[in-house]
């Protein structure tokens, strides 16, 4: 398999490539490499932080003590940054790279912004469990998650007082897309989801006395439908498969859609809504590796941070710094902007975020200095030595691990691993002019280029 194609696959199906991946896969076919990615992601390892202090709460005591309820809620919410940190670490270190990539993708599809850390962890693991499974089962599981019940007001959806929030987003954002349903369909669907609730510990609970068990007419079918029935009817429409495949194509292939390619994906997905089969088909298609798709995607903040972290591991003295970085870059895990999620691609970059991205490698890996290899470096080094406490983040870069992983890669070859897609002649000339006597310094130089923002 060609090196550029390997890099492309590892960035789209994972979060970057290391020299060992290029070396061990160089003589394999595309099918063999793709099969291995799926095999490595068969296992499901939950994301977990220690929430045992909330496991055996006396809910009857809480019920009768409003002050204690408020204090407990606050304690649970304060653990959300820990979950954020744990998820980012899992993305950067997990061997199940494809499952983690798919989990991140689905987190921006089935969007939920619950502040309850217990529910958020449970929801994240539901995404991970179904990330490569059956989409029909996936939608049904999501509809019963405590986070989703909270986020889209399913708990307030009761007989004679239906709340339409979930029913609307189910069709508009999760399955069909805008314009493929009527207001009547929303109303009838909402009636079917009445009675959906959850217990305090996050377990799904169907309250039958709050469910509207009358006849509903939905997409021309009439029956005493419940929520799962509505999902079954929606997925009978090819439009659902096409809607999801367009989203997959934009995320994994290119923002510029080629309808014939999406139609091929849709044919595979619509057969039985098998996510694994669909993604396996996608990664084996020759058009997935077309030159127009290589390096055509702007890295999300998470991609950018994880890619940097995989190349040069960074340890932060204060975990809050990781959260602050995400906020500054425009993507905080577990805190989506709205139910539609992050727009992605060009929306990741503006005047502020591009400057931060270009400076960040030098800040995190070189004490704030971009290594230019000239006499000004010593002046700059002295300045930062005297003003180190003013740096925005205190961290330690593990250059020993970098040197170990890149020991067989010389400075001249470093760009071929760190940069993706076709590089224009101007950038090639600039890279050729750089001082490559230090592999460490050259790594920072390459990471500080605009081209490093692409994958």
pLDDT band at 319 (very low <50, low <70, confident <90, very high): confident
Query: Tens digits of per-residue pLDDT, 391-442?
Result: 556 889 999 999 999 999 999 999 999 999 999 999 999 999 999 999 999 9
Q: Judge whether 390 lies within some domain.
A: no
Burial degree of 428 (CB within 10 A; 0-12, 13-18, 19+) = exposed
Number of domains into which the chain is organized = 2
Query: Can you count the helices (H) and strands (E) in the chain?
Result: 24, 6
pLDDT(229) > 90: yes
Contacts 24+ apart (CB under 8 A), 265-272: 266/238, 266/241, 266/242, 269/135, 269/241, 269/244, 269/245, 270/238, 270/241, 270/242, 272/134
pLDDT of residue 381: 52
- Average pLDDT of the residues in 43-72: 87
Q: Are residues 222 and 104 in the same domain?
A: yes
Would you state the structure tokens that stand for residue 404, as one six-digit string?
Answer: 């170990």
Q: Judge whether 408 lies within some domain.
A: no
Q: Judge whether 75 lies within some domain.
A: yes
Domain boundary among 235, 254, 274: 235
Q: Judge whether 216 lies within some domain.
A: yes
Would you state the structure tokens that stand for residue 145, as one six-digit string?
Answer: 């998650």
Q: Judge whether 46 lies within some domain.
A: no
Domain that holds residue 279: 3-40+237-293
Would you state the structure tokens that stand for residue 282, as one six-digit string?
Answer: 């996608």
Would you state the structure tokens that stand for residue 66, as one six-digit string?
Answer: 């409003």
pLDDT of residue 382: 53
Q: Judge whether 303 lies within some domain.
A: no
pLDDT band at 373 (very low <50, low <70, confident <90, very high): very low
Q: Are residues 21 and 166 in the same domain?
A: no
Query: What pairing do the DSSP bridges indicate for beta strands 204-206 and 314-316?
Result: unpaired
pLDDT of residue 385: 54
- Average pLDDT of the residues in 131-158: 98
DSSP 161: B
In angstroms, rounded to a whole number, what is the distance separating the alpha carbons of residues 175 and 135? 10
pLDDT of residue 132: 98
What b-and-e string marks burial along 375-399, b requiring 16 or more CB atoms within 10 Å of the CB?
A: eeeeebeeebeeeeeeeebebebee
Burial degree of 101 (CB within 10 A; 0-12, 13-18, 19+) = buried
DSSP 173: I
Q: Are residues 71 and 176 in the same domain?
A: yes
Q: How many CB atoms lie within 10 A of CB 104?
A: 21
Q: Are residues 193 and 242 in the same domain?
A: no
pLDDT band at 12 (very low <50, low <70, confident <90, very high): very high
Q: Are residues 73 and 18 in the same domain?
A: no
Burial degree of 43 (CB within 10 A; 0-12, 13-18, 19+) = exposed
- Of 49-63, 211-225, 251-265, 290-304, the range with the lowest mean pLDDT is 49-63
pLDDT of residue 58: 74
Would you state the structure tokens that stand for residue 440, as one six-digit string?
Answer: 């460490």
On whether the CB atoms of residues 130 and 138 are closer than 8 A, the answer is: yes
Q: Are residues 220 and 82 in the same domain?
A: yes
Q: Are residues 177 and 256 in the same domain?
A: no
Q: Judge whether 441 lies within some domain.
A: no
Provide the mean pLDDT of the chain. Answer: 93
- Average pLDDT of the residues in 282-303: 98
pLDDT greater at residue 160 or residue 377: 160
Q: Are residues 24 and 166 in the same domain?
A: no
Query: If we measure between CA atoms, which residue out of 13, 94, 46 comes closest to residue 278?
Result: 13
Q: Judge whether 87 lies within some domain.
A: yes
User: For 220, how many CA atoms within 13 A lie in the half-sphere containing its CB?
Assistant: 3
pLDDT(376) > 70: no
In angstroms, rounded to a whole number, what is the distance separating the alpha carbons of residues 454 and 308? 13
Q: Are residues 171 and 22 in the same domain?
A: no
Signed CA dihedral, 428, 429, 431, 437: sign only? positive
Q: Are residues 17 and 161 in the same domain?
A: no
Q: Are residues 69 and 212 in the same domain?
A: yes
- Average pLDDT of the residues in 251-271: 98
CA geometry: angle 295, 38, 49, nearest 5 deg: 90
Signed CA dihedral, 268, 269, 274, 280: sign only? positive
Q: Are residues 71 and 216 in the same domain?
A: yes
- Average pLDDT of the residues in 126-138: 98
pLDDT(389) > 70: no
pLDDT of residue 275: 99
Which residues, at least 6 apart from 399, have a Cβ–Cβ distance to it below 8 Å?
312, 365, 440
Query: If we measure between CA atoms, which residue out of 159, 155, 144 comes closest to residue 211?
Result: 159
- Average pLDDT of the residues in 285-300: 98
- Of 58-67, 248-257, 441-450, the range with the lowest mean pLDDT is 58-67
pLDDT(62) > 80: no
- Average pLDDT of the residues in 148-170: 97
Domain boundary among 209, 235, 261: 235
Domain boundary among 196, 218, 235: 235
Of the chain, the percentage scoring pLDDT greater than 70 comes to: 94
Signed CA dihedral, 93, 94, 97, 102: sign only? negative
């Amino acid at each position: 398999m060609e090196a550029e194609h390997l890099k492309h696959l590892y960035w789209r199906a994972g979060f970057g490539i290391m020299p060992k991946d290029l070396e061990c896969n160089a003589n394999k076919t595309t099918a063999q490499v793709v099969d291995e990615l799926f095999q490595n992601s068969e296992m499901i390892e939950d994301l977990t932080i220690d929430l045992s202090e909330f496991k055996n709460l006396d809910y009857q005591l809480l019920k009768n003590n409003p002050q204690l309820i408020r204090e407990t809620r606050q304690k649970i919410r304060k653990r959300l940054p820990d979950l954020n940190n744990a998820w980012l670490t899992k993305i950067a270190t997990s061997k199940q790279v494809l499952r983690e990539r798919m989990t991140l993708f689905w987190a921006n599809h089935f969007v939920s912004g619950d502040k309850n850390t217990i529910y958020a962890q449970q929801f994240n693991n539901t995404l991970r469990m179904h990330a490569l499974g059956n989409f029909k089962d996936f939608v049904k599981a999501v509809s019963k998650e405590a986070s989703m019940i909270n986020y889209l007001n399913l708990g307030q959806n009761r007989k004679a007082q239906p709340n339409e929030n979930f029913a609307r987003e189910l069709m508009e954002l999760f399955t069909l897309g805008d314009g493929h349903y009527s207001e009547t369909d929303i109303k009838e669907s909402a009636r079917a989801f009445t009675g959906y609730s959850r217990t305090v510990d996050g377990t799904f609970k169907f309250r039958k006395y709050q469910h509207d068990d009358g006849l509903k007419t939905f997409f021309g079918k009439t029956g005493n439908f419940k929520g799962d029935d509505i999902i079954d009817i929606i997925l009978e429409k090819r439009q659902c498969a096409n809607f999801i495949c367009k989203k997959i194509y934009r995320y994994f292939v290119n923002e510029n859609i080629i309808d014939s390619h999406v139609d091929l994906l849709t044919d595979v997905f619509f057969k039985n809504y098998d996510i694994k089969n669909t993604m396996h088909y996608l990664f084996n298609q020759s058009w997935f590796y077309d030159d127009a798709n290589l390096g055509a995607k702007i890295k999300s903040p998470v991609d950018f941070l994880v890619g940097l972290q995989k190349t040069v591991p960074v340890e932060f003295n204060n975990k809050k710094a990781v959260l602050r970085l995400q906020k500054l870059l425009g993507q905080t895990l577990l805190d989506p902007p709205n139910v539609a999620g992050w727009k992605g691609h060009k929306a990741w970059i503006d005047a502020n975020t591009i400057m931060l991205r270009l400076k960040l490698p030098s800040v995190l890996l070189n004490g704030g200095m971009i290594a230019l290899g000239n006499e000004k470096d010593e002046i700059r080094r002295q300045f930062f030595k005297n003003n180190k406490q003013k740096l925005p983040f205190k961290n330690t870069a593990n250059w020993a691990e970098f040197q170990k992983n890149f020991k067989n890669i010389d400075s001249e070859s470093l760009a071929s691993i760190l940069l993706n897609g076709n590089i224009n002649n101007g950038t090639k000339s600039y890279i050729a002019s750089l001082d490559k006597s230090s592999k460490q310094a050259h790594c920072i130089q390459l990471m500080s280029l605009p081209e490093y923002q692409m994958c």
